[in-house]
Amino acid sequence: MAGSGPAEQVVVAGYARTPFGRFGGALRGVRLPVLGAVAVRAAVARSGVEPAAVAELAVGVNFPGSERSVARQVQLRSGIPEDRSAYTVDRACCSSLAAVALASRGLRLGDTAVAVAGGVDNLSRVPYFLETARFGSRLGDLQLTDQLVVACPHSGVPRAVQAAVEAGQYGVDRVEQDEWAVRSQERYQLALAAGRLDAELVPVDAPDAEGGPVLLDRDEVPRPRTTLAALSALPTVNGSTTVTAGNAPDLSSGASALVLTSGAWAREQRVPVRAQLSGFAMASGDPQQIASMPARAARLALRRAGLDLSGVDLLEVNEAFAAVPLVTTLELADRDQHRAEHLRERTNVGGGAIAVGHPTGATAGRLVMTLVSQLTARGGGTGLVTICGGVGEAEAVVVRVG
């Protein structure tokens, strides 16, 4: 496979994701390499690309738990030849989009022609840590550490507190966040009924409580009967003033994968092109900014793609909390409420992580394929994915269909 030359176009040839399982649900016993391989095998099969053509595999993982070399293990289980490169990427919730961006660099430079990128996490399998046990404790109690009390590793401030504080700075109150959560659930159900998730999902065999097989073929997380009244009655969590279990996503499990090729290779091999990717952007800033940081990455991605918001048909802004798309759209609209409402009409049109779930390492890959599916249903267009993660960080990419 000869290189395609500098600045080569990156295209999506195929994609797949597992259903996203709820915390403690059907996927709780499935190891990361097993879950990741399900998505990779399906994405490669759906692309029409032979596994032997894949030169590189990048897998985003945020909570590896006791696993090591996750990407390499996924590769060896997915039919990609063992002499190909595989690497694991950790950029918190941005991980699978970082994996896509890193794999795309080889394609753009002509170093590779075909790559697979995505992510996997199973938050139900995240262990407690006993950090002082190795060298013993002569007297006193030993303390377990739980990573799932999600807080900034730099400041120690819970993410839910960070989201609520920044929402308040933008005038986004609890009612707006609950309303957005209901909207997410409702729009997910409409997308599901319209069959717009069919192109994404691949079933997973998961063991039940007795060890027998259970086929999970749809997302476990959605709550179609969610009402504003029910959400308004929920208590806030982790010291936050506005964030609840209802306007934040589940601690989920799942995997996503996308097959990427250079545009030249796709044309030569007559591989169907689902979408084109451009404007890859990473952004960083104040570690306390979680809700507005996706806007910074979005502006950078649009500039690199030679676009502005007027050229964007649909947006996917990850619902790390309901506050995030609300604040991000306000920031993109320069805090103009009227303009922000117009942006929100085309944001997360099929629902978001509050409804579908948020297996952190896999979510960004899901956002890309969801946007491709939604744009395809419209007959084509241009979209933007942006997601917060890490310590005041975010990532974005521009997606074109047709």
Q: Return the active site residues.
A: 93, 358, 388
| Sign of torsion over alpha carbons 128, 213, 257, 193 | negative
Q: Across-strand partners of 387?
A: 395
330: Cβ contacts below 8 Å, ≥ 6 apart: 170, 172, 337, 340
Q: HSE (CB half, 13 Å, CA atoms) of 29?
A: 12
